[in-house]
Amino acid sequence: MKIFIDTAEIEEIRTAISWGVVDGVTTNPSLIKKAVDKRQGKVSMAEYIEEIVKITPGPVSLEVLGGTADEMVKQGKLLYKKFCPYGNVAIKIPVNPSLQENDSLQFDGLKATRHLSNEGIPVNATLIMAPEQALLAAKAGAAYASAFAGRIDDYIRIKMGLKLGTDFRKDSYFDAEPARKDYETKNVETRQDNGVWSGVDLVARILRIYQNYGFKTEVIAASIRNPRQAREVAELGIHIATLPFEVIQGMVTHVKTVEGMRSFTSDIVPPYRDLFSRE
């Protein structure tokens, strides 16, 4: 499984890369603006993005702002041309850029994906919330399909009547198994989303579809909120997980590991320690 770090903070990117586990970066315009603003005019947005692309060992996903196919294609080409010389760049295109259901723009993300892909520009189809959307993104030629697991968990919990900040935190793990087990006895419509039981289930269904038809599109498990969720998508065989800095930190932490280190260091005998002080 490849790991992308989901951030615009260059210090976090540098640190995570130094750990030897980062394969790419995902970010968005608001995060980049926030990071640049913190520098108080010491660096321009273009310079900041250039630096991120330079130091990242794999693709950096950069997002368009347009809402029509023509705008997204134009902006995607501009971003790619501007930053590709500094490293590996992918263009984030929303799978459906419509601001309301069933309007004339809902397929423009797919149109833009096909156009850019045909020109050899890798597209990260983003804001995927359903397996059906992922299927269409792959058929349109997307290099990556970003499935927003954490947002689907939130959506299902809210449908169940739970409140963010009161009944669950943003980083809370969502266990869908109880809903599966009482499938026959409870109102399951509030416990799933069109047959999808959780964010991890969303990822599993997309992977199954892609495997069925041999799509080359890589699935990115996005909106990952905690280490357990990261582990579960890894167990599915996910191609890529894009993780916040704190989730990557949490993956290496375990109370028994700390306990073991304390035990090991206290057990070191002087003659063994002396081996490291002699040439």
E strand or H helix at 146: strand 144-148
Residue 25 and residue 60 in contact, taking contact as beta carbons nearer than 8 Å: yes
Between CA 168 and CA 174, with CA 172 as vertex, the angle to 5 degrees is: 90
Query: Phi and psi at residue 142, in whole multiples of 5°?
Result: -60, 140
E strand or H helix at 66: none
Nearest CA to 250 out of 272, 279, 224, 276 is that of: 224
Strand duo 218-222 + 240-243: pairing = parallel
What is the rounded distance in angstroms from the CA atom of residue 136 to the CA atom of residue 253? 38
Residue 92 and residue 126 in contact, taking contact as beta carbons nearer than 8 Å: yes
Enzyme catalytic residues? 92
| Residue 102, Ramachandran bin (φ over 0: left; ψ between -120 and 50: alpha; else beta) | left
User: Exposure of 216 by Cβ count < 10 A (0-12 exposed, 13-18 middle, 19+ buried)?
Assistant: exposed
Rg over alpha carbons for the chain, rounded to the nearest Å, is 21
